[in-house]
Amino acid sequence: MEIHVSSLFPEILAMIFNYLDVKGKGRVAQVCTAWRDASYHKSVWRGVEAKLHLRRANPSLFPSLQTRGIKKVQILSLRRSLSYVIQGMPNIESLNLSGCYNLTDNGLGHAFVQDIPSLRILNLSLCKQITDSSLGRIAQYLKNLELLDLGGCSNITNTGLLLIAWGLHNLKSLNLRSCRHVSDVGIGHLAGMTRSAAEGCLSLEHLTLQDCQKLTDLSLKHISKGLNKLKVLNLSFCGGISDAGMIHLSHMTQLWTLNLRSCDNISDTGIMHLSMGALRLYGLDVSFCDKVGDQSLAYIAQGLYQLKSLSLCSCHISDDGINRMVRQMHELKTLNIGQCVRITDKGLELIADHLTQLTGIDLYGCTKITKRGLERITQLPCLKVLNLGLWQMTEVKGLGDASEILPCYAS
């Protein structure tokens, strides 16, 4: 007996539709009534984020999203009141407003007027009109929030962080990139250093403080004392922190990833402090820290040998430093040494001999390496990514199969 697709049970159709992309899921709903009903099964849309332009009224929009079980929304452009979204999706779990430049405290205040216990993720990055006033609303009504992105919200101050520390005790991820007014006082609030006013966000696991120029080593002291669940800390471009602050971070036993990229006051001494502590780091980025040199690699080999990812772009390291490090770094999978102009073929040979678990390496701007060194690197058994960036490589085809992963860029 011949079986036609129309004979399939709706549950089977839903399982098939689950493999389609978002556009495909929308198209199958237009084929026939049976397919529409099957495509509206909540399992088909599980985890899907609706991307919306809020321009004119559409009475069927939010009922349709709720029928499909969609609970994640990204607003691409906002020309209607944000309350239109909140009222239409009372069980919303994720709201992405990134780049909605016209969103104001007033608009957000009209949307958040009662508890929204389902909302876990809120992205306000680059919403540049948002101030501490909005954070007061968020802290009052979004008690179950776990991720808050305020990257580029340059009007946020320490007062706003006090409000977050007072109301958002379940927060696990906080992005404060380029919040230029935030200082050590605000970080103290987050870390629970002002318990009389706010308990703090002591469950934080991810904290991004990139380009917060007012922070000093005191912030790192607060973090090490109060945020002992922290796993990922981004301090890139924080020019006010120094080697002394690394002493505090060295005691954070739960920390997995530390980004110190372009922290100008970090030197070999800071790396020494990190290596002598209780850290079990898996990822470390000290790229463009021009005071980091070969001695740091010796310290890393001694105390941070469990690293899986290490970025040293534009650091003053040489073949000698590579020699002092590679024999201990058996777990290393990603090594970024782009623009390390003192590295030669000898360094690449050492890497090829000892870092046999490498899956990716960045050699952009390493002008002293030649075809001979690259031939050795391409023999690494697990290598999948080799970045030469815009550096012009000659005779790439002579490397045989390696030519597939060694792009040659014309000048």
Checking if the pLDDT of 299 tops 80, the result is yes
Distance, in Å, from the CA atom of 295 to the CA atom of 274, rounded to the nearest integer, reads 13
Checking if the pLDDT of 16 tops 80, the result is no
Checking if the pLDDT of 396 tops 90, the result is no
Answer for the pair 262, 288: CB distance below 8 angstroms, yes or no.
Answer: yes
Distance, in Å, from the CA atom of 222 to the CA atom of 339, rounded to the nearest integer, reads 34
Confidence of residue 381 (pLDDT cuts 50, 70, 90): very high
- What pLDDT does residue 51 have? 85
Q: Is residue 200 part of a domain?
A: yes
Q: What value does the mean pLDDT take over residues 158-166?
A: 97
Confidence of residue 37 (pLDDT cuts 50, 70, 90): low
Are residues 266 and 225 part of one domain?
no
Of residues 125 and 67, more confidently modeled: 125
Q: Is residue 398 part of a domain?
A: no
Are residues 128 and 31 part of one domain?
no
Q: Is residue 10 part of a domain?
A: yes
Q: Is residue 400 part of a domain?
A: no
Digit-coded pLDDT (tens) for 172-206: 999 999 999 999 999 999 999 988 888 999 999 99
Are residues 267 and 334 part of one domain?
yes
Are residues 233 and 345 part of one domain?
no
Q: Is residue 99 part of a domain?
A: yes
Least confident interval from 4-8, 86-90, 156-160: 4-8
Give the CA-trace dihedral at 155, 156, 159, 165, to 10 degrees. 170
Are residues 125 and 42 part of one domain?
no
Are residues 127 and 260 part of one domain?
no
Are residues 109 and 143 part of one domain?
yes
CATH code: domain of residue 104: 3.80.10.10
Are residues 98 and 25 part of one domain?
no
The one-character DSSP state at 68 is: T
**Count of CB atoms situated within 10 Å of the CB of 290:** 12
Are residues 258 and 292 part of one domain?
yes
Report the percentage of the chain scoring pLDDT > 90.
72
Of residues 107 and 27, more confidently modeled: 107
CATH code: domain of residue 13: 1.20.1280
Least confident interval from 123-137, 331-345, 362-376, 396-410: 396-410
Q: What value does the mean pLDDT take over residues 336-354?
A: 97
Q: What value does the mean pLDDT take over residues 381-386?
A: 94
Checking if the pLDDT of 340 tops 50, the result is yes
Digit-coded pLDDT (tens) for 220-264: 999 999 999 999 999 999 999 999 999 999 999 999 999 999 999
Confidence of residue 23 (pLDDT cuts 50, 70, 90): confident
Of residues 141 and 40, more confidently modeled: 141
Q: Is residue 405 part of a domain?
A: no
Q: Is residue 411 part of a domain?
A: no
pLDDT, the chain, mean: 89
- Final residue of a domain: which of 192, 220, 241? 241
The one-character DSSP state at 316 is: B
The number of folded domains in the chain is 3
Checking if the pLDDT of 393 tops 50, the result is no
- Final residue of a domain: which of 46, 63, 79? 46
Are residues 22 and 90 part of one domain?
no
Are residues 291 and 182 part of one domain?
no
Checking if the pLDDT of 117 tops 90, the result is yes
Q: Where are the alpha helices (DSSP H) in 112-179?
A: 132-141, 158-167
Q: Where does residue 217 fall: left (phi above 0), alpha (psi -120 to 50 degrees), or beta otherwise?
A: alpha
Are residues 293 and 225 part of one domain?
no
| Parent domain of 93 | 48-241
Q: Is residue 408 part of a domain?
A: no
